[in-house]
């Protein structure tokens, strides 16, 4: 089982996205994702998301907001992934180059036009609504075959 975070930094009608084009043997190659990554031992979801955004973009997020939890059964190498999804409208620092891809501010209206995982197109609109969500997304050979989402 893998634990991870995803964070969507938002400002002025735009969201910071990572185009995964640099990392070797990347399951996400060519896709656009939020920022984030795997937990280190002993980290809370909040500590993980703050560290990952700092490492990937050089930005320090303040008061990350937990929006949802995603479950991906057997997603990579047969392992289940559990992902805590955050938004972060408050951050400081100067954006730097990312070793995993290209960072770009995308207009919120254009997010669903990007080359995203199919499940991302389901949960990204939920970031704008009040409350939380929990989603389960099953992929086979990189294709979404089944999903369910609960809204709270």
What CATH number does the domain containing 15 carry? 3.90.79.10
Nearest to 67 by CA among 43, 88, 40: 88
pLDDT digits (tens, 9 = 90+) for 39-93: 999 999 999 999 999 999 999 999 999 999 999 999 878 899 999 999 999 999 9
Buried/exposed code over 44-67 (b: 16+ C-beta within 10 A; e: otherwise): ebeebbbbbbbebbebebeebbeb
Q: How far apart are CA 113 and CA 31, in angstroms?
A: 12
16: exposed, middle or buried (C-beta count within 10 Å: 0-12, 13-18, 19+)? buried
pTM: 0.94
Can you give the residue range of the structural domain that contains 41?
2-151
Query: Structurally, how many domains does the chain consist of?
Result: 1
Q: State residue 23 phi and psi, 5-degree precision.
A: -85, 135
Pairing of the two strands 90-93 and 143-151: unpaired
For residue 5, what pLDDT band results from cuts at 50, 70 and 90? very high
Position 142 scores a pLDDT of 87
């Amino acid at each position: 089982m893998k634990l991870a975070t995803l964070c969507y930094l938002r400002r002025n009608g735009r969201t910071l996205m990572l185009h995964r084009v640099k990392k070797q043997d990347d399951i996400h190659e060519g896709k656009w994702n939020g920022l984030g990554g795997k937990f280190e031992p002993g980290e809370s979801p909040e500590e993980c998301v703050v560290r990952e955004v700092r490492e990937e973009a050089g930005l320090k997020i303040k008061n990350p907001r937990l929006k949802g939890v995603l479950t991906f059964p057997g997603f990579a190498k047969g392992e289940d992934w559990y992902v805590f999804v955050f938004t972060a409208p408050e951050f400081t620092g100067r954006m730097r180059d990312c070793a995993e891809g290209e960072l770009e501010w995308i207009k919120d209206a254009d997010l669903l036009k990007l080359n995203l995982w199919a499940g991302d197109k389901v949960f990204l609109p939920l970031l704008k609504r009040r409350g939380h969500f929990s989603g389960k997304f099953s992929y086979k050979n990189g294709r979404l075959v089944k999903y369910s989402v609960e809204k709270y």
